[in-house]
Structure 1
Amino acid sequence: MLKNVNPLLNADVLYALRAMGHGDRLVLCDTNFPADSVARETVLGKLLRIDAVTTAEATRAILSAMPLDTFIPDAAMRMEIVGNPTEVPAVQKEVQAEIDKAEGKSWPLVPVERMAFYEIAKKSYCVIATGERRFYGCFMLTKGVIPPEVKY
């Protein structure tokens, strides 16, 4: 156990979050996402897990350590529902609330068509699977920067 580190952030996830640079993207997915096969195509090349939690809980843990990228409009993305791209299910509303809370403001959660989501995911830094069983609990988050402390 570490002080001031969310206990959901296991050693493998902490390593990935620390190793990622500005502009690197992670995928946070539900149990139905083809996590292992997609993860094999990512930069990290292996699947990471935060088991037995929802994607909202995993989002809270990740964003306790990782800032979102403020330089791009799609630093937070969600998978669109097939046949109903404007619908936002409860699982996505919960993640939206966690993002807004972590960033201290309303933050756009950009929709991405399902097949396009898979293709973007393959180019990400890593995939983190959760225990989320609700459909469309799949998201991508892009790492931002932490500014230097100014000392006078």
Structure 2
Amino acid sequence: MLKGIPSILSPELLKVLMEMGHGDEIVIADGNFPAVSHTNRLLRSDGHGVPELLEALLTLFPLDTYSEQPVALMDVVPGDTVETPIWRTYEQIIGKHITPAIEHVERFAFYERAKKAYAIVATSEKALYANIILKKGVISE
């Protein structure tokens, strides 16, 4: 254990976050996301939801301030009547770090982008359309 590191962040996830460079992306996936088939670098965070993981991750992970939209969400499929209150939670969490600039990506385009991400973190999140992509920024201090 280390001081100041949120305990929800596993050693494997911390290693991946350290390996990532400016512009690399990481996916935090909900429980329905086909994570195994979309990456060669899968990290498990079973038993946890996306908001709690996002909150902890952003204490260490700088979002890309050079990108217009350093955060991407899987957009709701047209015609689907699902509500997405979790998105407001994401905006609040992200807003503690930067002004939220969030892109909405069509479902299959999101899958393709996820395949190119540095890693995918699979959670047990039950909310629908709870998948989120974060683009890593730089440490300027």
Percent of paired sites with the same residue: 38
Q: Which runs of 5 or more structure 2 residues have no equivalent in the other structure? A: none
1:79-112 superposed Cα distances (whole Å, 9 cap, x missing partner): 0010159x86111211121111133xx3112100
**TM-score, with structure 2 as normaliser:** 0.93
- State the match for 1:119 in structure 2: 112
**Partner SS for 2:96:** helix
Q: Are 1:63 and 2:58 matched, yes or no?
A: yes
Could you tell me how far apart the structure 2 residues matched to 1:54 and 1:91 are? 11
Q: Are 1:140 and 2:125 matched, yes or no?
A: no
Could you tell me how far apart the structure 2 residues matched to 1:59 and 1:15 are? 16
- State the match for 1:99 in structure 2: 94
Deviation at 1:46, TM superposition (A): 2.5
Could you tell me how far apart the structure 2 residues matched to 1:69 and 1:29 are? 20
Could you tell me how far apart the structure 1 residues matched to 2:83 and 2:72 are? 12
Q: Which runs of 5 or more structure 1 residues have no equivalent in the other structure? A: 40-44
Conserved 8 A contact 1:60-1:102:
no
Distance change >3 Å, CA 88–CA 66, structure 1 → 2: farther
- State the match for 2:122 in structure 1: 129
Could you tell me how far apart the structure 1 residues matched to 2:49 and 2:77 are? 21
Conserved 8 A contact 2:43-2:119:
yes
- Runs of 4+ in structure 1 off by over 2 angstroms are none
Conserved 8 A contact 1:91-1:137:
yes
**TM-score, with structure 1 as normaliser:** 0.87
Could you tell me how far apart the structure 1 residues matched to 2:79 and 2:106 are? 10
Deviation at 1:64, TM superposition (A): 0.8
Aligned residues: 140
